[in-house]
């Protein structure tokens, strides 16, 4: 699906729409002729991510908290698509805001489902590959049953996604809501924040600043990356399919974290050394999704090679001198 592909929706609500992935969804929907309400409380999202959309017909930014009891009144719709992407997603945000992470998966999901039910809209929950827990199988497919530890330091994100999935399943089963679940896996691209704790923006920021690129552990753990344009395409295919099945969207090839760091250093032309540091507790060793269902059901597969995606991401950070340096002075543009 490209930007000129028609969708079966007239008006969409994207919760968390000023975040990294949410903002790209807003843009793709708008490019395809869909009116978009972007709802975000700006705790993690940034107004600058959607400021280029605010003068376009059919786009509306609503600063509100989807976890609040009155959020439905602030989002009167009517909508025929609700994409629930609100909530802290990066490792740094989840450690900083554990209760907000849990609220987004529980109260936020419940409220967003209520809006979809009110309007008879298609609902899609953004879950995550973290919902698998420590996988028993590799690569991980939708039927995988992983090992779960709900009290580890970073468990709030995993548990919020698992609860959200259970809530969506129960809502669809008892109330007939047209609801689906998508698990994006290791999406990267422009509009990520340099200090969010994820590997790609961290490596790029360090390399552009000429600092050591810090790899945790011995660098042998792996990730399977998927460029944001491919992820957005997959998500909207799941939404348009009206499938109730859980679908994973992610890349199928693996790269070690050490090799990813070296690739970023090479693509930035940096002289930064690779520095190995202690590995976080419970950090998974291998992460590779099994996206066979997405291919078979939706005809989806990633199209953008890592090198091309990384070049576009590096260009984004290079053009923004504020991006590599984490500060508390990161205000949202005023409307």
Domains and CATH numbers, the chain: 11-188+226-252+288-303 (3.40.50.720)
The distance of Cα 146 from the centroid of its chain, to the nearest Å, equals 21
Residue 196 is predicted with a pLDDT of: 83
Phi, psi of 248 (to 5 degrees): -95, 135
For 186, the 3-state DSSP assignment is coil
For 261, the 3-state DSSP assignment is helix
Q: Token match 């790269």: residue?
A: 255
The CA distance from 23 to 18, in Å, is 5
Residue 146 is predicted with a pLDDT of: 56
pLDDT surpasses 70 at 320: yes
Residue 281 is predicted with a pLDDT of: 60
The residue with greater pLDDT, 329 or 42, is 42
- If phi > 0 it is left, if psi is from -120 to 50 it is alpha, else beta; for residue 280 that is beta
Q: What is the average per-residue pLDDT within 122-148?
A: 68
For 127, the 3-state DSSP assignment is coil
The CA distance from 317 to 1, in Å, is 27
Residue 221 is predicted with a pLDDT of: 86
Q: What is the average per-residue pLDDT within 147-174?
A: 86
Residue 90 is predicted with a pLDDT of: 81
Q: What is the average per-residue pLDDT within 149-164?
A: 83
The CA distance from 221 to 182, in Å, is 24
Q: What is the average per-residue pLDDT within 159-171?
A: 94
**Mean pLDDT score of the chain:** 87
CA separation (Å) from 245 to 95, 239, 251, 277, 320?
30, 11, 19, 40, 40
Phi, psi of 247 (to 5 degrees): -130, 130
The CA distance from 325 to 245, in Å, is 41
Q: What is the average per-residue pLDDT within 140-150?
A: 60
Q: What is the pTM of this model?
A: 0.89
pLDDT classification of 284: cutoffs 50, 70, 90: low
> pLDDT by residue (tens digit) across 257-272?
999 999 999 999 999 9
The distance of Cα 232 from the centroid of its chain, to the nearest Å, equals 9
Crossing angle between the packed helical segments 109-119 and 155-175, to the nearest 10 degrees: 30
CA separation (Å) from 192 to 45, 92, 115, 302, 314?
10, 13, 28, 19, 11
pLDDT surpasses 80 at 163: yes
Number of Cβ within a 10 Å radius of residue 116: 26
Catalytic residue set: 157
The CA distance from 185 to 223, in Å, is 9
> pLDDT by residue (tens digit) across 11-33?
999 999 999 999 999 999 999 99
Residue 335 is predicted with a pLDDT of: 25
- If phi > 0 it is left, if psi is from -120 to 50 it is alpha, else beta; for residue 8 that is alpha
Residue 205 is predicted with a pLDDT of: 95
The CA distance from 5 to 152, in Å, is 43
């Amino acid at each position: 699906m490209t930007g000129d592909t028609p969708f079966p929706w007239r008006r969409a609500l994207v919760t968390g729409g000023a975040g990294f992935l949410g903002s790209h969804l807003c843009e793709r929907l708008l490019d395809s002729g869909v009116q978009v309400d972007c709802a975000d409380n700006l705790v993690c999202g940034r107004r600058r991510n959607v400021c280029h959309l605010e003068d376009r017909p059919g786009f509306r930014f609503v600063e509100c908290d989807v976890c609040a009891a009155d959020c439905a009144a602030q989002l009167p719709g009517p909508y025929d698509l609700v994409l629930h992407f609100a909530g802290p997603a990066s490792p740094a945000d989840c450690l900083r805001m554990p209760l907000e992470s849990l609220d987004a998966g529980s109260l936020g999901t419940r409220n967003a489902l209520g809006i979809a039910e009110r309007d008879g809209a298609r609902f899609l929950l953004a879950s995550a590959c973290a919902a698998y827990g420590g996988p028993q199988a590799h690569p991980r497919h939708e039927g995988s049953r992983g090992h779960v530890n709900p009290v580890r330091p970073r468990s709030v994100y995993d548990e919020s996604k698992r609860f959200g999935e259970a809530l969506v399943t129960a809502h669809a089963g008892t109330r007939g809501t047209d609801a689906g679940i998508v698990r994006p896996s290791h999406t990267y691209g422009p509009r990520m924040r340099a200090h969010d704790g994820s590997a790609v923006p961290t490596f790029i920021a360090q390399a552009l600043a000429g600092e050591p690129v810090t790899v945790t552990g011995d660098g042998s753990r792996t990730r399977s990356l998927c460029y944001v344009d491919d992820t957005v395409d997959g998500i909207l295919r799941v939404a348009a399919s009206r499938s109730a099945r859980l679908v994973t969207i992610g890349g199928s090839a693996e790269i070690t974290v050490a090799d990813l760091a070296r690739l970023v250093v090479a693509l930035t032309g940096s002289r930064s050394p690779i520095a190995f540091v202690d590995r976080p507790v419970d950090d998974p060793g291998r992460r590779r999704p099994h996206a066979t269902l997405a291919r078979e059901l939706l005809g989806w597969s990633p199209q953008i090679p890592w090198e091309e995606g990384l070049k576009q991401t590096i260009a984004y950070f290079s053009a923004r001198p504020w991006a590599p340096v984490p500060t508390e002075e990161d205000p949202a543009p005023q409307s």
